[in-house]
Structure 1
């Protein structure tokens, strides 16, 4: 009997050591990510809520007093990551992970991307020499209150070369710009992949056309792409655009007509219309 009780007690002790009661965290975990150009940008953070408190203020009793360092979140602070080298507010920042530290102010914030991620939320250990970037951004007032700290990545530029990271809480918003340079990566990819597959000549030619590079090289590549797929009306359409850019309106018109005929055979009305517009633009 004693042996049975002893085994039961051991079993209960084991359960007590391994089992845990799970409850919601006071500050929920959040993350946001997007691809800017060819670069992955991600922010991971803990999201505190106002809960009736004063957040940003000159009052030293506020949760985040003006002029004091803030981990820009709760718990272990906020981490921002870049898969490639970037520029943040014009400052070159190598790819990697950084703590996002801030010093809020009424009209302006100081922002630091901090290299020592292991510091976590222990802002008392901050060492300015470990900043990868340190800059100032304007603060703006929001019309509607944001109850829970929210970080967004938006305002992506039309050329996909920049985006803005926004920190918004209470009635305050700040944004800073992350700029990327994917051109070198694309050029390297073109060099490598056109040697592997002729189908890549099409993408290479279009990229050269859209970025204003060597149009004669673009024409050579688009001709190679057309050889491997002579019925591709979309390839012929891009060839006509390259010819137009080179000043060869006669050749561009002939190519656009050929593209339009093949698009009609394929039942693609969109390319028929695009070729019609292209031909009109050369008259």
Structure 2
């Protein structure tokens, strides 16, 4: 009887301490983080590029509301996107040293300007400083047949490299990268 009482008391005590230590988590982020690596094949461990970014969603809004033409945009949501080049590369005809950079863009109707900036860990484009730019190059704009609600980054193979492709709505922005 004494053992039954002790066991019952321990079970009750454990249930109260478990409840007291339980953590309450908020809902999922509306623009989840993503990583786009090249080569995209998950079996290839020797990557050449990695972009870490958050994926804003249109949800009935226009791209121009979220990434206005002519203004520096963080190229995603939340923190500014960061791009890592594991080898020296030629980006839109300009030489770039291997390293990690913040990725910004300036949207336009016929071309976007892609900016690689040496300041990392920036929130949005609020702390963007043009004086820290390492590279500013034009990227071509085209229209895709499929509309993407969530901003996405992908790669399209080309001779000796790839095109980094930003897709959102029906807009496709293509940046040639050669290794």
Q: Which bracket does the TM-score occupy, shorter chain normalised?
A: 0.7 to 0.9
- Superposition TM-score, scaled by structure 2 size: 0.80
- Give secondary structure in 2 for the equivalent of 1:129: helix
- Give secondary structure in 2 for the equivalent of 1:117: coil
Partner of 1:76: 79
Gapped runs of 5+ residues in structure 1?
A: 1-10, 57-61, 181-283
Structure 1 or 2: more strand by fraction: 2
- Superposition TM-score, scaled by structure 1 size: 0.52
Larger Cα-atom Rg: 1
Matches of 2:91 and 2:131, distance apart in 1: 18
Matches of 2:51 and 2:158, distance apart in 1: 16
Cα-to-partner distance string for 1:86-141 (whole Å, 9 max, x where unaligned)? 111111111111111001011111110111112242x1322222111101122112
Using the TM superposition, give the Cα deviation of residue 28 of structure 1 relative to its aligned residue in structure 2, in angstroms: 1.3
CA contact 1:77–1:100 (8 Å) conserved in 2: yes
Matches of 2:141 and 2:120, distance apart in 1: 25
CA contact 2:164–2:177 (8 Å) conserved in 1: yes
Using the TM superposition, give the Cα deviation of residue 33 of structure 1 relative to its aligned residue in structure 2, in angstroms: 0.9
Gapped runs of 5+ residues in structure 2?
A: 1-16, 41-45
From 32, 36, 50, give the equivalent of 2:58: 50
Partner of 1:108: 111
Structure 1 residue 32 corresponds to structure 2 residue 36:
yes
From 16, 21, 28, give the equivalent of 1:15: 21
CA contact 1:99–1:120 (8 Å) conserved in 2: no
- Give secondary structure in 2 for the equivalent of 1:155: strand
Matches of 1:131 and 1:175, distance apart in 2: 20
Using the TM superposition, give the Cα deviation of residue 35 of structure 1 relative to its aligned residue in structure 2, in angstroms: 3.6
Partner of 2:137: 135
Matches of 1:116 and 1:23, distance apart in 2: 31
Structure 1 or 2: more helix by fraction: 1
> Number of matched residues?
161
Partner of 2:11: none
- 1:87-166 superposed matches below 5 A: 87-121=90-124, 123-157=125-159, 161-166=160-165
Partner of 2:166: 167
- 1:247-266 superposed matches below 5 A: none
Using the TM superposition, give the Cα deviation of residue 13 of structure 1 relative to its aligned residue in structure 2, in angstroms: 9.9
Matches of 1:127 and 1:49, distance apart in 2: 26
Matches of 1:163 and 1:107, distance apart in 2: 21
Partner of 1:237: none
